[in-house]
Amino acid sequence: MSTSQRTWWRPLVLVVVIVAWLAIGGAGGQTFGKLSDVQENDSAAFLPSSAESTLAAEQHREFSPVTSLPGIFVVDGVTGEEDLAQVESFVDDVVAMPIEGDAEGRTVGEVLSPPAGQQAPQVVPSEDGEAALVAFSIDSGVAEEAVGEGTLGESVAQTIRAVWAEQDTDLEGHLTGALGILADLLEAFAGIDGILLLVALAVVLVILLIVYRSPVLPLLVLSTAMIALTGAILAVYAMADADMITLNGQAQGIMFILVVGATTDYALLMVARYREELLRTPSPYTAMAKAWRRSVEPIAASAITVILGLLVLLLSDLKSNAALGPAGALGIVSALIAALTLLPALLLIGGKHARGVFWPAMPRYREDAADAVVADPSQGKGFWARVARGVDAHPRRTWIAAGAGLLVFAAFVPTFQASGLGQQEVFTRDTDSVKGTAVLEDHFDAGASSPIRIIVPEDQAEATVEATAGVDGIEDAYLLTPSVAQGAPAGVAGPEDPIVVDGRVEVVAITQVSSSSNEAADIVQDVRDVVHPLADDALVGGTAAEQLDTRLTTQRDTAIILPTILAVIFVVLVLLLRAVVAPLLIVVANIVSYGATIGLSALLFNHVFGFPGSDPSVPLLGFVFLVALGVDYSIFLMSRAREESLAHGNRAGIRRALAVTGGVITSAGIVLAATFAALGVIPLIFLAQIAVIVGLGVLIDTFVVRSLLVPGLVADVGKRSWWPWSSRITD
């Protein structure tokens, strides 16, 4: 049988693989814009059902069945009755304005709670006479109705702002409250499907053009990444649509970045091996087969490490974190399969002329290339050859110096502010709702729109009101009565009995600061401290309580997830490297690297960017990404080191592995860091901080941990690094 008869199936397999992935890409592309339809960006939806604020919200619905989404429009610069009359005219225009895209043709006034026909929104001047506010509240269920490409709540917020923009006035007006903040969040997330991905792909393309010096190869890698992303989108959309996960905009953005970054990293390793084999193998098919066999183990181990690390997030009580786990894991699975199937098929699409994808620097087959396999790559003149020789010459000095440098930055970890952010502090720029909150706090009782709600037994009502009113930061506290439940100020209707449900009453507490601020969450803790001793079954809820419970839940999650991830990664490394000591050294090195990253990030956040703080989940997610992704580079290095050590001994194996993998791993690290940096284009502090932490951490892992710390440690410890399976390795 001739060679052509034996290999006729090769082109057929390539075509089948490519066509199958193109079909996935076509289906995923159509689903691309639908992810926003299955997002849930309400922070209350992410809390566990056992959270105190969740239980309080359930009982509050028995006192007031309608749950409103308050939209507070504040006007600054009021000087007299003429200005107030202009605000009243604005309110009339708003309630009469049709909602754009509403199939029922409703006006804003018809969807308010209560409808404008029953009780028109009132203009309330501030005590100092310099400002006024109007409450445009919408029932939460109504606000979630689909209108056009968004929700009714989003459309109402846009309408209110558009009507104000048309007013002929010098007054300053802003929409804040839950409705305004939600509208600004949705506007920020609107860039995830477009600008985020475009920026990430553009950055990766530039780096790949520099690395490969080829116009074709980067396009094949990026095509693989994009098609892998469409596969992930199909799976994530199906799970979110079936209510198997609670997807939010942040998880979606991170998933996009993970897929692009991971696919590119795996592609860099595969292409590097393939290029090596092309130098000593005449057939591109044979070269790819050898490269695939030698790449599949480290790439699969890397992917499995990240997948398992992300799936550990399922242990989180916060649904937002728990959703990121499977969403990110599905993305990595898609990246792994695409890198091992689609990319090889694209690289071989030219058949015997497949070397053309590397044009103009095409690797040519050399008959004497077999000798290059034996030759020590660390004896060359390149940068990484010199680094490898330097580490080999002074391993102890190298790892001590690298470790000491990392510990210096790790000393700043206690300065990292992760107590939480108020809802108006989550943006990296001054949005309309942020400006409105500032006006609200300057002229009004900022917490009145979303008060703290305390559910207690009826016999503890007066004691609870008295104790709550005495808490620092509480402006007022009173019982929920029928008139108050209808929106009237407390006491206006005269003496009233409180609403009693199953022997329980609700106490309403107004904070001096905005309920969406971080300070309000601290006040909730003080309220709980004085209320719980009065009644064991007392429940303290509200917007500020939800923020506090998010913080407490994250602290619980951190204590469980961090050690679990370390254990999972250690087991994967033991199975991959067939050793115990080397994996232990790698895990310890990555912990030190994480500490240095958080310390350096704290310096940047506090003194360079001036961030007001961090979401409590930032350090947790930073740990998940850095330890899971950062260990990838140690996996790439040490899997090659084991291969070389079996043939040449421990010291020579480390030296050769560092020299030969230095370029590709550095490129992979830069690509991943740059990809995560693209998250900074979304104007949210959470994503900006994740971008900084992961970007810095990956670069530290690439240039310090993988290049100096781990090689120095393994070389210094010697063949004992491979204990207890070290008998085949010499020093």
- Tell me the pLDDT tens digit for each residue of 39-75: 676 665 678 888 999 999 889 888 876 667 888 899 9
Inside any domain, residue 60: no
CATH number of the domain where residue 651 is located:
1.20.1640.10
Inside any domain, residue 616: yes
Torsion-angle region of 504 (φ positive above 0: left; ψ -120 to 50: alpha; else: beta): beta
Three-class SS of 477-526: EEECCHHHHCCCCCCCCCCCCCCCECCEEEEEEEECCCCCCHHHHHHHHH
Specify whether 423 is located in the same domain as 381: yes
Specify whether 125 is located in the same domain as 249: no
Torsion-angle region of 243 (φ positive above 0: left; ψ -120 to 50: alpha; else: beta): left
Residue 370, pLDDT > 60, answer: no
- CA atoms within a 13 Å half-sphere pointing along the CA-CB vector of 233: 25
Residue 201, pLDDT > 60, answer: yes
Contact (Cβ atoms closer than 8 angstroms) between residue 246 and residue 41? no
Give the helix/strand (H/E) hosting 26: helix 9-31
Give me the chain's average pLDDT, please.
85
Classified as helix, coil or strand, 711 is: helix
Q: How confident is the model at residue 584 (pLDDT cuts 50, 70, 90)?
A: very high
Residue reference for tokens 């000491």: 404
Percentage of the chain beyond pLDDT 70 is 91
Inside any domain, residue 49: no
Please tell me the predicted confidence (pLDDT) of residue 204: 87
Residue 620, token pair as written in the block:
């947790």
Could you read off the pLDDT of 413-471 as tens digits, one per residue? 999 988 777 766 788 888 888 898 888 888 887 666 678 999 999 999 999 999 999 99
167-171, 373-377, 524-528, 633-637: which has the highest mean pLDDT?
524-528
Contact (Cβ atoms closer than 8 angstroms) between residue 463 and residue 96? no
Percentage of the chain beyond pLDDT 90 is 27
Domain, as residue range, for 226: 1-38+217-355
- CA-atom Rg of the chain in angstroms: 30
Phi, psi dihedral angles at 691 (to 5 degrees): -60, -45
117 by Cβ neighbours in 10 Å (0-12 / 13-18 / 19+) ranks as exposed
Q: How far is CA 361 from the centre of its chain?
A: 38
Phi, psi dihedral angles at 76 (to 5 degrees): -110, 155
CATH number of the domain where residue 134 is located:
3.30.70
How many structural domains does the chain have?
4
Could you read off the pLDDT of 271-320 as tens digits, one per residue? 988 988 888 888 888 889 999 998 898 889 889 988 998 899 899 888 87
Please tell me the predicted confidence (pLDDT) of residue 3: 47
Averaged pLDDT for residues 705-727: 85
Contacts of 447 (CB under 8 A, 6+ apart): 475, 510, 511, 512, 513, 514, 515, 520, 544
CATH number of the domain where residue 487 is located:
3.30.70.260
Q: How far is CA 128 from the centre of its chain?
A: 42
Specify whether 158 is located in the same domain as 280: no
Q: How far is CA 131 from the centre of its chain?
A: 38
Inside any domain, residue 349: yes
Please tell me the predicted confidence (pLDDT) of residue 4: 47
Cα separation, 187 vs 179, in Å, equals 12
Between these two residues, 370 and 550, which has the higher pLDDT value?
A: 550
Q: How far is CA 139 from the centre of its chain?
A: 29
Specify whether 566 is located in the same domain as 642: yes
Best CA proximity match to 202, nearest among 675, 727, 715: 675
Q: Give, in order, the Cα–Cα distances in Å from 327 to each of 267, 288, 545, 678.
A: 21, 31, 28, 19
pTM, two decimals, is: 0.82
Specify whether 677 is located in the same domain as 616: yes
Residue 147's DSSP bridge partners are: 150
Residue 98, token pair as written in the block:
């049709």
Please tell me the predicted confidence (pLDDT) of residue 689: 92
Between these two residues, 482 and 149, which has the higher pLDDT value?
A: 482
Please tell me the predicted confidence (pLDDT) of residue 415: 93
Cα separation, 271 vs 174, in Å, equals 54
Domain end marker among 513, 541, 569: 541
- CA atoms within a 13 Å half-sphere pointing along the CA-CB vector of 706: 35
Domain end marker among 491, 524, 541: 541
Residue 366, pLDDT > 80, answer: no
Phi, psi dihedral angles at 208 (to 5 degrees): -65, -35
Cα separation, 706 vs 145, in Å, equals 51
Inside any domain, residue 577: yes
Residue 717's DSSP bridge partners are: none
Please tell me the predicted confidence (pLDDT) of residue 367: 65
Inside any domain, residue 199: no
Angle at the Cα of 716 from the Cα atoms of 711 and 717, rounded to 5 degrees:
105
